[in-house]
Structure 1
Amino acid sequence: MPEVVEHHGVPVLVCDADGVAIADVQDALDHLIGAAFACAEVVAVPSARLDDRFFDLSTGLAGAILQKFANYRLRLVVVGDISHHLSASSALPDLVREANRGRDIWFVPDLDALAERLTPNAAGQSSG
C-alpha cells in the first residue's frame, strides 16, 4: 500500500516496489494518479514498477504517461537505478537530463535524493 510522506511541506505518495506494474496509461491513471490526486503533489514510483516500454521512448508510453501527470498537475519522480535503460538508449539520457532540470518530472536514485531535491533552494532550483 502506498503511503504519503511529507518532505519540506510537499506531500509525496511513495509507491511500493512490489505494486502493480505500470504497463500503460490506464495503469498510471488507476494506480498512480488516482491514488495521489486527493492527497499528494508528487508521486514517487520505483523504476521497477514501470514497464520496460516506458524507457523505450519510441513506444510513446513515457510521453503519454508524463502528459497525464501534467494534465492532473501532479509531479512524477522515478526512483531507482535506470542505468541499464540509459545505456540502451540514445534519447533517454537526454530526456532524463532535461527532466531533472525542471520541477515536474525527476529521475532520482533513491528516496533520500528525492527528499534532498525537495529541500528549498536545493540544487537545480533558481535562487532568484
Structure 2
Amino acid sequence: MRITVDQQGNSKVAILESPDTLISDVQSALDLMAAIRYAEGCDKILLDKSNVTEDFFELRTRLAGEILQKFTNYSFQLAIVGDFDGYDSKSLKDFIYESNHGKQVFFLKDRDAALAALHSV
C-alpha cells in the first residue's frame, strides 16, 4: 500500500493506493484507521472503490453501516472514489446521495472532488 498525504492548512488527507482490497470487514477498517492515524497523523482517508469489498455496496449485508459507524466513532472522514452508476439499488443510490450531503463519508467520481470534500470538513 502506498500512502501520500495531501495537506491544506491544518487539514491532512491520507491518500491510499493499493491493488488490494483494504477494507473487507469491520476489523480491517479499524486496523486501517489505526495505522493511518499512527503513521501519518491523519483522520481523513481517500481510497478507490476497488479497495473496498463489494459486499460493502450490498446494503443488505449491513457491512457499510457497521464500517461507517466505526469511522464515525473514531472521528474519521472517508472519501471513496469511483464510478457508482453501475449499481441498480435505489437504496444504495439514496445512501450515497445522503452521504455526499453530510460531513463524514463521501462517494465521488474523482480524486479532486474527494480531496475538496475532505478538506472542507
Q: TM-score, normalised by structure 2?
A: 0.86
Aligned pairs for 1:41-56 (under 5 A) are: 41-56=43-58
| Matched length | 118
Q: 1:23 — aligned with what?
A: 24
Sequence identity percentage: 34
Q: Which has the higher strand share?
A: 2
SS of residue matched to 1:73: coil
- The Cα of 1:83 is off from its aligned counterpart by 1.7
- Alpha-carbon distance in 2 for matches of 1:115, 1:43: 9
Q: Point out the more displaced range, 40-49 or 15-24.
A: 15-24
Q: 2:5 — aligned with what?
A: 4
Amino acid at match of 2:80: V
* 1:59 aligns to 2:32 (yes or no): no
Gaps of 5+ in 1: none
Q: Give the alignment partner of residue 78 of structure 1, picking from 72, 77, 80.
A: 80
Structure 2 contact 14–44 (Cα < 8 Å) conserved? yes
Q: 1:107 — aligned with what?
A: 107
C-alpha change, 1:119 and 1:26, in structure 2 (3 Å) is closer
Listed one character per residue, the Cα deviations across residues 74-113 of structure 1 (whole Å, up to 9, x for unaligned) are 001111112223xx21210111111111111111111111
Please tell me the root mean square deviation across aligned C-alpha atoms, in Å: 1.8
Q: 1:98 — aligned with what?
A: 98
Structure 2 contact 78–118 (Cα < 8 Å) conserved? no
Q: TM-score, normalised by structure 1?
A: 0.82
